[in-house]
Chains A and B, each alone.
Chain A
Amino acid sequence: MRYVLSYLIGLIFGLGIILGGMANPAKVLNFFDIAGTWDPSLAFVMGGALGVTALGYRFVLKRPAPVLAEIFHVPTVRQIDGRLIGGSVAFGVGWGLAGFCPGGALPAVGTLDPAVLTFTIAMIVGILAAKAVQRG
């Protein structure tokens, strides 16, 4: 039952990404192209997602525990360091280069588009490489 629920959550997320236009790199790149073919749609995706999450978390995180788990796994790291900044700069450059962020690419994998699969495999290689470096 719990895996049916987590599957449905992934499905809702994926539908949101698709409906919002984030699975389409051309649309994402146009959002960042204010000086050219600007398409402000993604601001509405971010706004809608942030609004619902901020509101929902207020209720959910007040509870003593999640319904199907023992604790809330909320990040406890507070440090703003070079790793956070450098990693985020790199992510932004990569996002601006091809128009895919991880959340945009993963649902698009289901289209079996060769370019999406290429991006996703490269992204997984990047994640594993960084994890290996972090492990030292």
Chain B
Amino acid sequence: MTEFTPWASLAGGILIGTAAVLLMGLFGRIMGATGVLAGFVWPSGRDDWAWRASVLAGMVTAPALYFLISGRAVEVEVPVSTLAMIVSGLIVGMGVTFGGGCTSGHGVCGMARVSPRSMVATCVFMIAAFVTVYVTRHVIGGAV
């Protein structure tokens, strides 16, 4: 069980949206974790690499700031095996690259632009995730 946190989650969503609007307004870029990371690990130029590196640095230092503000460590509870983490990481990495985006890129920024591609991608990956969790938890029964 995890606690239902509508207000904290809504506030988190508002911050994510704020970051997306600022990145577009200032730098003209889509705030998609996939796109930012892919251009960082597969660079296409020095200037292009630098803004991605600094956005990623901001993301990675967020847990420290969260701890300074709230006095609480970030809760990361991983209910699956190491093998599942590796397999999942590989599939996610390949999937978001071929699919051209993830929850932030398609699900937030693309949907906000009413992009048909992003709407299709978001529906597809949400349904795939619901089905996967149903199968692993209720059909196979928590075997992963």
Q: A residues near B, CB below 8 A? A: 2-27, 29-30, 32-37, 39-54, 56-57, 60-61, 63, 65-75, 77-80, 83-104, 106-111, 113, 115-116, 118-131, 134
Interface secondary structure of B, over-half rule: helix
Q: A3-B54, A67-B26 are in contact. Are A99 and B10 (CB under 8 A)?
A: no
Q: A20-B9, A52-B14, A87-B96 are in contact. Are A110 and B62 (CB under 8 A)?
A: yes
| Residue among B17, B58, B94, B137 making CB contact with A36, cutoff 8 Å | B137
Q: B residues near A, CB below 8 A? A: 1-34, 37-38, 41-42, 50-51, 54-66, 73-80, 82, 84-100, 102-104, 106-113, 115-117, 120-122, 124-134, 136-138, 144
- Contact between chains at A126 and B89 (CB < 8 Å): yes
A60 and B17 alpha carbons, distance in the complex (Å): 13
Interface secondary structure of A, over-half rule: helix
Known A69-B29, A95-B125; 16 more pairs at CB < 8 Å: A6-B51, A7-B57, A11-B58, A14-B63, A17-B12, A18-B74, A45-B9, A88-B120, A89-B124, A97-B144, A98-B85, A107-B63, A111-B74, A119-B86, A122-B90, A127-B96
